[in-house]
Chain A
Amino acid sequence: MKISIRIQREDFDLNREVTMLAGDGESGAVASFTGHVRKEEDLSTLTLEHYPHMTEAEIARLVGEAGIRWELTGVTIVHRVGPLKPGERIVLVAIASQHRHAAFAACEFLMDYLKTHAPFWKEETRGSEHHWVEHRASDDEAAKRWQK
């Protein structure tokens, strides 16, 4: 399995990432998810902090788990950190496999687990106020449905 996990401040190019992941023809299917900063009243900046080294290690563990559950040929995960504006891309999960079902399922699994396990924290700036985004119980519920 071809694995690329990157934490970076810079933006990413979806087309380029998918080409690098599956352009060799080994995979018949790629499913990808891109998360963007949602526009909200007064929200000027969303700043992402993370735990260097653990973030990469934790995501690698989650990718390993996905590789056990589904037959995958490649996984690319890019997560941005630092200050982001509404509309900007935050995260990319792209999954390559021989057939679409595994790619769709693993993509959703990895997003659910990324949200509940990878050590990132979002801080919102609204006007002159800063506050940390609260963890959502609905994200825990989404991740729980994979525990069988």
Chain B
Amino acid sequence: MTLLYFAWVRQKVGKGEEQMALPAGDIAGLIAHLKSLGPNYAEAFADLSRIRVAVNQHHAGLDAKVGANDEVAFFPPVTGG
């Protein structure tokens, strides 16, 4: 699974991209796993109301299912335009 982080999520996690071998599951489960990896992840994902998710470059919810070949991105609510 390819994980991408943007804006302050990237800064808190400390990297913009990483590969992880993970069992298939949903986004909520993936976040719970990431939070167990270290204080940087725990801080980045402390408030899920401030986190948005995309799966394979489409906006997705916490209940979206993800598998080994998916690209999952985490970022704050967008502020472009």
Chains A and B come from one and the same complex: yes
The chain A residues found within 8 Å of chain B, CB to CB, are 35, 48-51, 53-54, 57-58, 79, 90-91, 111, 114-123, 132-136, 139
Q: Specify which of A49, A53, A54, A120 lies most central, judged by the most chain B CB atoms within 10 Å of its CB.
A: A54
Q: Choose from B7, B54, B57, B59 the contact partner of A49 (Cβ within 8 Å).
A: B7
Task: State A35–B79 Cα separation when bound (angstroms).
Answer: 13
Closest residue of chain A to B7 (Cβ to Cβ) is A121
B42-81 contacts to A, CB under 8 A, are: 54, 57-59, 73, 75-81
B73, A51: Cβ atoms under 8 Å? Answer: yes
Given contacts A51-B73, A53-B57, A121-B75, contact A115 B4 (CB under 8 A): no
Contact of B78 among A35, A57, A91, A135 (CB under 8 A): A135
Q: A50-B6, A117-B78, A135-B78 are in contact. List 6 more A-B contacts (CB 8 A).
A: A51-B57, A58-B59, A79-B81, A90-B81, A119-B54, A135-B76
Asked if B79 contacts A111 (CB within 8 A), the reply is no
Contact with A along B1-24 (1 / 0, CB 8 A): 000101110000000000000000
Residues of A with C-beta under 8 A to B73: 51, 54, 119
Also in contact, A132 and B80, with CB within 8 A (given A51-B75, A54-B57, A57-B57): no
In the complex, which residue of chain A has the Cβ closest to the Cβ of B77? A135
What would be 9 A-B contacts, judged by CB atoms less than 8 Å apart? A35-B81, A50-B6, A51-B6, A120-B81, A121-B75, A121-B78, A122-B79, A132-B76, A134-B77
Residues B7 and A115 in contact, CB atoms below 8 Å apart: no
CA distance A139 to B81 in the complex (A): 10
B81 contacts across to A, CB distance below 8 A: 35, 79, 90-91, 111, 114-115, 118, 120, 139
Residues of A within 8 A of B6 (CB): 49-51, 119, 121
Give chain A residues whose Cβ lies under 8 Å from the Cβ of B77. 134-135
Contacts of B80 in A (CB 8 A): 48, 50, 79, 91, 114-115, 118-122
- Bound together, the chains give a CA A111 to CA B80 distance in angstroms of 10
Residues of A with C-beta under 8 A to B78: 115-121, 135
